[in-house]
A and B are shown apart, each in its own frame.
Chain A
C-alpha cells in the first residue's frame, strides 16, 4: 500500500536498508534512472521471462531473454538468453506456451546463479516489458526469497501504452487486441515465428520504438516520465 505514495527512489532506499551485501545490495546501491532523462540518453532493457505458470509465489522462472535499447536503437550485441534449471517437472500446460522441455531446462543454471547477472544487467536502467505484472512480480518474488528485500525499477509497459493509444483514439478494445503479436502488424512490424524469451523481448523492443514514434514526433527528445507506467 505504502508503495503507491512513495517515490521509486525512496522505495529503493528503503529496500537497501534491508540488505547489506550481495547481488541485490549492489543492484539497489545504484541510483535509479531519473524520470527527467531524455529517451536519447536512456538505457532501456527489454525483458521477457518464461515461467511455469502465472503465480509468482508458486511458479518458477524458466528463462529470461533481454536486449537493450540505446539512443532509441535496439542493440542486438546486448542480447542475452538464459535458461534456468528448476528442481521440478515443467507442467505440461506451460510447456505448450514456452516450448521449453525438461531436458533443455536441465542445461540451464539455478535461479540463485541467474538472478545476480540479471540484476546486474538491470541496475540503473529502465525495464521494458509487455504486461509488467509477470516480470516485475516474479523478479520481486525471487529477490524477496533469495535476498529478503524487494525489487525496484522504473518500468515502461507496452501493453499500458497500447491501451492508452486505443483510448486516445476512442477505439474499443476487443479480446486479444493488446497482445504483443496482434499489436505488431499495426506498425508494419514483421511476424516472428519463434516464441521464446529473447524473441519476445526483441519483439517488445521493436514495438516500443514504433509506439514511441507514433506518440511523439521526436521521441528521442522526450523525457522518460512520458512513457513510465508508474
Chain B
C-alpha cells in the first residue's frame, strides 16, 4: 500500500475491531475507504448512500436516538456504526444526528464480509452475542493476573506437598491414630478403607470428639472421623485450594490424583508459601488475644485484596475471601466479649447483613449486623446483649469496618431483638412495604448467621421466605425498588453517558453497576423463596426456576463478575498507590475494550430492568 495512508492505517490499528486485523489486511484497508464530512446537525447515517456501509468516526460526534427521540448511544472518535450491515448493535436506535462537525470513514458492507470471512478474530467481534463477549471478557480478566507474589499462588498444590500421605486404616483405634500423628508430627491423618480414602481426623477431632466427649481411645478411629470430605486434585492451583479452605472454613484438604490420595494440604503449607493470604490472616485472627491484635490483622486486608486482584482470583472468590475474614474477626470479637461477660443467658445468633452476608465484601466496607435472640429472653437479659453488641460493633469499627451510617447494627436496640420481634418486623415489611422497609431491604433481606445458635436463624429465614414466596404485591414493590439504580448508557470521551443525555465525570461502579444486579437477584430469590444470599448463587438458583431464563441468568452472572472485577482492579490500583480505595472510575482510565465490555454488561442489566418493569408495572405481576 501507499505508505502515505499510514495515518489512516494507524488510526484504525488502534481501535477495535480493526486492532485484531493482521498487518497485511490493515495496510490494505485505507484504500477501500471513502471519506465523508457531516456538518453539525446533519442526519446520520448520511441519507444519500448508494449502498450499505459501516461508518467509523475519525473526528466529531454522533448521537443515536430511539423512536421517542431518547438518546440510545453517542459515538465519538473511533466509534463504529455497523447497523446498516445488518449487525444490530444499537437495538433501539432508529435515527442519528451529528452533534459536532464529523469526519467519517465508510467501508462497504461487502468488504466487511470479506474481512470477516478471512479473519476469525475480526469476525468474532461482530458475530459474538453479548453473552459470548462477556464470557470472553471475564476469561481475559482472569488470565491477566501478571503478578509477582501471587504468581506463587498459581502453582499447583502438588508442589506444596512436603510429605508422603500419612494414612491409617479405619479399623485402627483412636489411640493408634494419635500415636501415628505424634510420631509423624502432623495435625491430621487420613483414614483408608483399602486403598480408598474413607475419612480423616485432626487434632481438633481428638480433642472435641474423643477427649472432651469422654470417648475411649480404644474405640475405632472411624467413630470420630469426618467422612464427608472435600478434596482437591493435585493440579489444583494453590489459590483455588486456598479459596476452597476459606469457603469451607477448614484447614486441611486431602490432595488426590483421580481417586488416589497423594497427600494432605494444610493451611500452614499455603501460609508458608504465601505470607499474606486469607488462610494466614484467618490463622492470625484465631490467634489474636486483644483488639489491637485483631486491628493489626484487619489492617492487612487491603493488601490481601490487592494481591488477590493481581492473581487469577475471580471477583466472586475475592468477595468470599474478604467476607470470610470479616466473619472470623466477628467471631473472635464475640468470643472475646463472651470470655469477659460470661456465656449468654439465653441462646442467640449474631447475624451479618448486606455485602458481608452476600459474601461480596471489599476491604473497605462498613458493618451491617443484627442480633437475633431466643424468645426465652427475659427483660433482665437485655443488659448483657447490649454490652455484647456494643463491644463487638466497637471492635469491628476499630478493625476498619466502620459503623453503619444508617445505624443498622446490633448495637442499635431496634436491631437486637427476639425471634418474635423480628418476625413482626418482617411481617410488616413484607405485608405493608413502604420506602423505609425497601431501604432496609438490601441489609435485612440479605442475612447470614455468623456465630451462635444457627437454628434460630434458620427458623426466621424459612418464615421470611414462606411469606415472600409467590407474594405478588411484595415482589412488585421490590421490583420497583430494583429499578432505582440504572446503569449508564456507556461512555463518551471522558464522560459517563446517562439516559437523559446528561454527562457525569466519574462512574460510580458500585451504585450504577453492582447494586442493580444485586437488587435484581434479591427480587428473584425472595419471590421464589430461594435460600442463597450470594448474588451469583441467587441468580444461578433463579435460573433453575421459571422466573429467569438460563441464558439471562448466565448473562447477569458474567456481567456482575466483569463489573466487580473492574471495581476490584480499580481499588487494587488505589491500594498500590496508597490512596483510600473508592468506587469512582474515571472514564479515561478505561481502555476501549473495557468500555465496550462494560457497555455489554450495562446492556444486560438494562434488558433485565426493562423486563422487570413491564412484568411488574402498575402492580401487575405474574
Q: Are B37 and A81 in contact (CB under 8 A)?
A: no
- Which residues does chain A contribute within 8 Å of B5, judged by CB atoms? 76, 79, 198, 202
Residue of B nearest to A65 (CB): B4
- Alpha-carbon distance A199/B11, docked complex (angstroms): 14
Number of interface residues of A (CB under 8 A): 30
- Which residues does chain B contribute within 8 Å of A192, judged by CB atoms? 7
- Which residues does chain B contribute within 8 Å of A220, judged by CB atoms? 48
Contact with A76, one of B31, B39, B59, B60 (Cβ below 8 angstroms): B31
- Alpha-carbon distance A192/B6, docked complex (angstroms): 10
CB-defined interface of A182-194 with B at 8 Å, one 1/0 digit per residue? Answer: 0000011110111
A74 located at the interface, meaning its Cβ lies under 8 Å from any Cβ of chain B in the complex: yes
- Which residues does chain A contribute within 8 Å of B351, judged by CB atoms? none
B8 located at the interface, meaning its Cβ lies under 8 Å from any Cβ of chain A in the complex: yes
- Which residues does chain B contribute within 8 Å of A188, judged by CB atoms? 59-60, 100-103
Q: Are B4 and A76 in contact (CB under 8 A)?
A: no
Q: Are B33 and A76 in contact (CB under 8 A)?
A: yes
- Alpha-carbon distance A196/B4, docked complex (angstroms): 7
Q: Are B34 and A198 in contact (CB under 8 A)?
A: no
Q: Are B7 and A199 in contact (CB under 8 A)?
A: yes
* A73–chain B nearest beta-carbon distance, Å: 4
Residue of A nearest to B100 (CB): A188
Q: Are B37 and A76 in contact (CB under 8 A)?
A: no
CB-defined interface of A51-92 with B at 8 Å, one 1/0 digit per residue? Answer: 000000000000001000001111111011100000000000
Q: Are A76 and B100 in contact (CB under 8 A)?
A: no
Tell me which residues from 31 to 61 in chain B have a Cβ below 8 Å from any Cβ of chain A: 31-39, 42, 48, 50, 58-60
- Which residues does chain B contribute within 8 Å of A43, judged by CB atoms? none
- Which residues does chain B contribute within 8 Å of A198, judged by CB atoms? 2, 4-5
Contact with A209, one of B11, B36, B60 (Cβ below 8 angstroms): B36
A214 located at the interface, meaning its Cβ lies under 8 Å from any Cβ of chain B in the complex: yes
Contact with A206, one of B30, B37, B39, B50 (Cβ below 8 angstroms): B37
Q: List, sorted by A's number, 13 A–B pairs whose CB atoms are closer than 8 Å.
A: A71-B50, A73-B106, A75-B34, A76-B35, A77-B32, A80-B2, A81-B4, A190-B11, A190-B103, A193-B7, A202-B35, A206-B35, A206-B37
A94 located at the interface, meaning its Cβ lies under 8 Å from any Cβ of chain B in the complex: no
CB-defined interface of A81-111 with B at 8 Å, one 1/0 digit per residue? Answer: 1000000000000000000000000000000
- Which residues does chain B contribute within 8 Å of A156, judged by CB atoms? none
Known: A76-B34, A76-B35. A187 touches B7 (CB 8 A): no
* B15–chain A nearest beta-carbon distance, Å: 13
Known: A188-B59, A190-B103, A199-B7. A79 touches B36 (CB 8 A): no
- Which residues does chain B contribute within 8 Å of A65, judged by CB atoms? 4
* A183–chain B nearest beta-carbon distance, Å: 13
- Which residues does chain B contribute within 8 Å of A80, judged by CB atoms? 2
- Which residues does chain B contribute within 8 Å of A210, judged by CB atoms? 37, 39, 101, 103
In the A-B complex, list the 7 residue pairs whose CB atoms are closest, starting with the nearest.
A198-B4, A74-B35, A209-B37, A188-B101, A213-B39, A73-B34, A81-B4
Residue of A nearest to B2 (CB): A81
Tell me which residues from 20 to 37 in chain B have a Cβ below 8 Å from any Cβ of chain A: 30-37
* A193–chain B nearest beta-carbon distance, Å: 7
- Alpha-carbon distance A209/B5, docked complex (angstroms): 19
A143 located at the interface, meaning its Cβ lies under 8 Å from any Cβ of chain B in the complex: no
CB-defined interface of B79-119 with A at 8 Å, one 1/0 digit per residue? Answer: 00000000000000000000011110010000000000000
* A80–chain B nearest beta-carbon distance, Å: 8
CB-defined interface of B182-215 with A at 8 Å, one 1/0 digit per residue? Answer: 0000000000000000000000000000000000
- Alpha-carbon distance A145/B560, docked complex (angstroms): 74
- Which residues does chain B contribute within 8 Å of A74, judged by CB atoms? 34-36
Tell me which residues from 423 to 470 in chain B have a Cβ below 8 Å from any Cβ of chain A: none
Residue of B nearest to A205 (CB): B35
* A1–chain B nearest beta-carbon distance, Å: 39
A-B pairs with beta carbons under 8 A, tally? 74
- Alpha-carbon distance A22/B569, docked complex (angstroms): 70
- Alpha-carbon distance A79/B31, docked complex (angstroms): 8
Since A196-B4, A206-B103 are in contact, a sample of 15 more A-B pairs with Cβ atoms closer than 8 Å, ordered by chain A residue number, is: A73-B106, A76-B32, A76-B33, A77-B31, A80-B2, A188-B60, A188-B101, A190-B59, A198-B5, A205-B35, A206-B37, A213-B37, A213-B38, A213-B39, A220-B48
* A184–chain B nearest beta-carbon distance, Å: 10
Residue of A nearest to B11 (CB): A190
Chain B interface helix/strand/loop/mixed: mixed
* B461–chain A nearest beta-carbon distance, Å: 60
- Alpha-carbon distance A11/B391, docked complex (angstroms): 102
- Which residues does chain A contribute within 8 Å of B11, judged by CB atoms? 190
Q: Are A79 and B4 in contact (CB under 8 A)?
A: yes
* B6–chain A nearest beta-carbon distance, Å: 7
Residue of B nearest to A70 (CB): B34
- Which residues does chain B contribute within 8 Å of A197, judged by CB atoms? 4
Q: Are B35 and A194 in contact (CB under 8 A)?
A: no
Q: Are A79 and B103 in contact (CB under 8 A)?
A: no
- Alpha-carbon distance A202/B58, docked complex (angstroms): 14
Q: Are A76 and B30 in contact (CB under 8 A)?
A: yes
Residue of A nearest to B37 (CB): A209
- Alpha-carbon distance A206/B100, docked complex (angstroms): 16
Residue of A nearest to B106 (CB): A73
* B557–chain A nearest beta-carbon distance, Å: 41
Q: Are A194 and B7 in contact (CB under 8 A)?
A: yes
- Which residues does chain B contribute within 8 Å of A76, judged by CB atoms? 5, 8, 30-35
- Which residues does chain A contribute within 8 Å of B8, judged by CB atoms? 76
- Alpha-carbon distance A23/B133, docked complex (angstroms): 57
Q: Which of B2, B8, B50 has the most CB of A within 10 A?
A: B2
Q: Which of B31, B39, B58, B60 has the most CB of A within 10 A?
A: B39
- Alpha-carbon distance A34/B129, docked complex (angstroms): 52
Tell me which residues from 468 to 523 in chain B have a Cβ below 8 Å from any Cβ of chain A: none
- Which residues does chain B contribute within 8 Å of A190, judged by CB atoms? 11, 58-59, 103
* A78–chain B nearest beta-carbon distance, Å: 9
Contact with A199, one of B4, B35, B59 (Cβ below 8 angstroms): B4
Q: Are A73 and B2 in contact (CB under 8 A)?
A: no
- Alpha-carbon distance A186/B231, docked complex (angstroms): 68
Q: Are A187 and B34 in contact (CB under 8 A)?
A: no
Residue of B nearest to A211 (CB): B37
- Alpha-carbon distance A8/B42, docked complex (angstroms): 36
- Alpha-carbon distance A68/B7, docked complex (angstroms): 18
* B317–chain A nearest beta-carbon distance, Å: 45
- Which residues does chain A contribute within 8 Å of B50, judged by CB atoms? 71
- Alpha-carbon distance A73/B32, docked complex (angstroms): 12
Q: Which of B5, B37, B60, B102 has the most CB of A within 10 A?
A: B37
